[in-house]
Amino acid sequence: MIDVYVLGAGKHATEVSEYFNNHQAYYLAGYVINVDHHDHSLLKSVIQLHDFLKQYPASPKLALIGAIGNYQRKSIIELLEKKGYGFINIIHPHNYLSPTLKMGTGNCIAPGCVINANVNIGNHCIINSNCNISHDCILENYVTISPGVTIAGNVSIKEGVFIGAGATVIPGVTIGNNAYIAAGACVTKDVLPHVMVAGVPAKVKKIID
């Protein structure tokens, strides 16, 4: 068994906790946070990052999974990786993942997803419940996909993109890094990096710093 610490202790971390139930290889050991005020009253074994680093040095018997639902998880994950900590993929058993799926590490896939042929997922992505990712899509690192998103074939999603609940992306589109797709949007053409788009069809609403 590997002791796994979940990075984050918010609502997404609460959901992710359940993916460890009856897991053959991973034991949910606790939660690591780096914020002072956090509502983690429902969770046990919450530890501040600086204490975690002192008390639990990197080891092959210990791993982490990021459960902070935005691009801000990148800096903490990079720090931990630099210090030698390993990350796992945690995948809820109720999913269809094509055997051709290629995936890095640190990814989290919630229940009810279908990921079809020849999809390539990088590292530290979050794919929330009931998402459909069709053939030949590429998701770079730190992509966050909210519940009920449909991504058609040959879509390229660059680093740090956030896609809001229920959005749809039509085939062949490229979404630029750190772009934000609002809930319910229908993305019909390429999206520039660092913009928020919303609506049907999706239009640029603002620039993201």
Ligand X SMILES: CC(C)(COP(=O)(O)OP(=O)(O)OC[C@H]1O[C@@H](n2cnc3c(N)ncnc32)[C@H](O)[C@@H]1OP(=O)(O)O)[C@@H](O)C(=O)NCCC(=O)NCCS
- Pick the piece of the chain touching ligand X (CB under 6 A) from 53-61, 111-119, 186-194, 199-207: 199-207
Is residue 183 near ligand X by the rule CB under 6 A? yes
Chain centroid, CA 201 distance in Å: 25
CB of 56 to ligand X, least distance (A): 29
Among the residue ranges 40-48, 73-81, 85-93, 177-185, the one whose residues contact ligand X (CB under 6 A): 177-185
Q: Is residue 116 a contact residue for ligand X (CB under 6 A)?
A: no
- Structure tokens given for 105: 């590490």
Closest distance to ligand X from the beta carbon of 52 (Å): 25
**Does 198 interact with ligand X (rule: CB under 6 A)?**
yes
d(CA 189, CA 194): 15
Q: Is 38 a catalytic residue?
A: no
Catalytic residue among 38, 40, 135, 194: 135
Measured distance CA(56)–CA(47) in Å, rounded: 11
Q: Does 123 bind ligand X (CB under 6 A)?
A: no
Confirm or reject binding of residue 196 to ligand X (CB under 6 A): yes
Of 191 and 198, the one with the shorter C-beta distance to ligand X is 198
- Which range, of 22-30, 86-94, 109-117, 194-202, touches ligand X by CB under 6 A? 194-202
Q: Give pairs for 104-113: CB < 8 Å, separation 24+.
A: 104/141, 106/64, 106/65, 106/66, 106/77, 108/16, 108/19, 108/65, 108/66, 108/67, 110/15, 110/16, 110/19, 110/147
Q: Does 164 bind ligand X (CB under 6 A)?
A: yes
Pick from 27, 96, 205, 207: which binds ligand X (CB under 6 A)? 205
d(CA 159, CA 39): 28
* Out of 17, 107, 116, 128, the residue judged to bind ligand X by CB under 6 A: 128
Residue 67: phi and psi, rounded to 5, are -130, 40
By the rule CB under 6 A, 199 interacts with ligand X: yes
Q: Cα(first)–Cα(last) distance of the chain, in Å? A: 42
Partners of 26 in the β-ladder: 2
SS3 of residue 43 by DSSP: coil
* Residue 184 in contact with ligand X, rule: CB under 6 A: yes
Backbone phi and psi for residue 23, each to the nearest 5 degrees, phi listed first: -70, 140
Sites of contact with ligand X (CB under 6 A)? 128, 146-147, 164-165, 180, 182-184, 196, 198-199, 205-206
As annotated, the active-site residues are 135
